[in-house]
Amino acid sequence: MIVGMASALLQRFQHPAQVIVTGFGVAVLLGTGLLALPAATESGEPAGWLTALFTATSAVCVTGLAVVDTGTHWSFFGEVVIAGLIQIGGLGIMTLATLFTVLVSGRLGLRARIFAQAETKTLSMSDVRRVVRNVVLFSLACEAVIAVLLTGRFLAGYGEPFGRAVYLGVFHAVSAFNNAGFALWPDNLMGFVTDPWICLPIAAAVIVGGLGFPVMFELSRAWRHPSRWSVLTRVTVAVTVILLVAGTLAFLVTEWRNPGTLGGLDHGGKVLAAFFAAVMPRTAGFNSLDIAGMYPSSWLVTDLLMFVGGGSAGTAGGIKVTTFGLLAFVIWAEMRGEPDVNIGHRRLPQAAQRQAVSISLVGVALVAVSTYLLLVLTPHGLDRVLFEVVSAFATVGLSTGITADTGPAGQVLLVLLMFVGRTGPLTLGSALALKDRTRRYQLPEERVIVG
């Protein structure tokens, strides 16, 4: 079914941007309609259109921001709809992003048509089917493993009935692998802050889902031979590890004595909670600590981690760790006066450098403008508004608790920001990568003072 839908979209539209925006837009509208039904709420009263739209957008864009409590406001039917939208959004992201990664790299090598009248090397439909099948099987297998682990813990550790334990395990496995961050408890996962059997499987699902299918596929084949890894895998793994370690240390140092977060935990619990807090800004949105109780310095660290996000061709958002890593290599080469940007034994094309700069600056501009608008629309301070905006743009879902208090205009702004944050980087990245113009002349060069 997914392959058929992908094929129909590819035949209908001529550019990846049209496929991405239309596909996600249709899913959001369908989800909004289902969540607006009386059967979707516990009270039996239909949810308001804005509540339904906000929740559907957050689910399809695998964000996790919510204006109502998921576990108490929505009925079983509503929760199943949310889980289904998360699955559709996550699979859609991984499938489209993986296809574009392969399309740009040309690794499958067959010249055919994936986009009608495309002006570049493309994949045959047999390759499309194989890629989509592998992505779906990989995603479902990861979710199944995490669901089994969580179900066992809910059964053995918390005495949940079998049916309820299975439901909790499956829902949170889907939400974790797809980096959505929806939880069925009012305090999210704060009740499990020191439970490694809950926190570590969810963190592992977030990391694996955020790395992306191309990276995980390459690691599964050559994890013992890092020298054979592609630049994509090297940069993704290296930057991911650095950010996880740096984030964990930053939260430990900043929040160690904070009575509202780590202060009341033992040493092992502090390390686990700090690590979990460092993983979630990869765009998962779960929280085992009270975000509102953190110091503003920790909010700033979280802002930075959220903005960077996770790996390309994965379920994570943000500008992506590959973009951040490439910019770091560009800066390093410029500081050393190197004419080329080299990563290992490979030279980075100038086109990739320009794409990284473009995506980063567009992201900064979008966050800055949206922060200004939300400051005008709401009475909240800069630190909380910036946190909310970055969380929406990077499709994270973490919040200091102001989401429901942003008002209708603010919530519409967040809806647009989630949608653009989910589709924008992928759309812009594919458009830049697939747009290759040649010019038969060069203009005279003139040096400009920089800095």
pLDDT digits (tens, 9 = 90+) for 296-355: 999 999 999 999 998 877 778 888 998 999 999 999 988 888 888 888 778 888 878 888
Predicted local confidence at residue 210, as pLDDT: 87
Predicted local confidence at residue 238, as pLDDT: 92
Predicted local confidence at residue 112, as pLDDT: 33
Instruction: Give the total number of structural domains in the chain.
Output: 1
Task: Please check whether residue 449 lies inside any domain of the structure.
Answer: no
Q: 178 with 315: CB under 8 angstroms?
A: yes
Task: Please check whether residue 86 lies inside any domain of the structure.
Answer: yes
Task: Please check whether residue 446 lies inside any domain of the structure.
Answer: no
Predicted local confidence at residue 116, as pLDDT: 29
State phi, psi for 114 to the nearest 5 degrees: -110, -30
Task: Please check whether residue 450 lies inside any domain of the structure.
Answer: no
Question: 236: Cβ–Cβ under 8 A, 6 or more apart, which residues?
Answer: 211, 212, 215, 311, 312, 321, 322, 325
The pLDDT of residue 293 is above 70: yes
The pLDDT of residue 279 is above 90: yes
Model confidence pLDDT, tens digit, residues 386-415:
999 999 999 999 999 999 999 999 999 999
Task: Please check whether residue 96 lies inside any domain of the structure.
Answer: yes
- pLDDT confidence tier of residue 110, bands split at 50, 70 and 90: very low
Q: Which two tokens stand for residue 6?
A: 């992908």
Q: 139 with 90: CB under 8 angstroms?
A: yes
Which range marks the domain in which residue 179 is found?
A: 2-434
Is pLDDT larger for residue 84 or for residue 3? 84
For residue 391, give the 3-state DSSP assignment.
helix
Average the pLDDT over each of 191-195, 196-200, 231-235, 248-252 and give the range with the smallest value. 231-235
Q: Which two tokens stand for residue 183?
A: 């939880």
For residue 342, give the 3-state DSSP assignment.
strand
Task: Please check whether residue 443 lies inside any domain of the structure.
Answer: no
The pLDDT of residue 263 is above 60: yes
Predicted local confidence at residue 243, as pLDDT: 95
Task: Please check whether residue 442 lies inside any domain of the structure.
Answer: no
Is pLDDT larger for residue 91 or for residue 203? 203
This prediction has a pTM of 0.86
Task: Please check whether residue 320 lies inside any domain of the structure.
Answer: yes
- pLDDT confidence tier of residue 109, bands split at 50, 70 and 90: very low
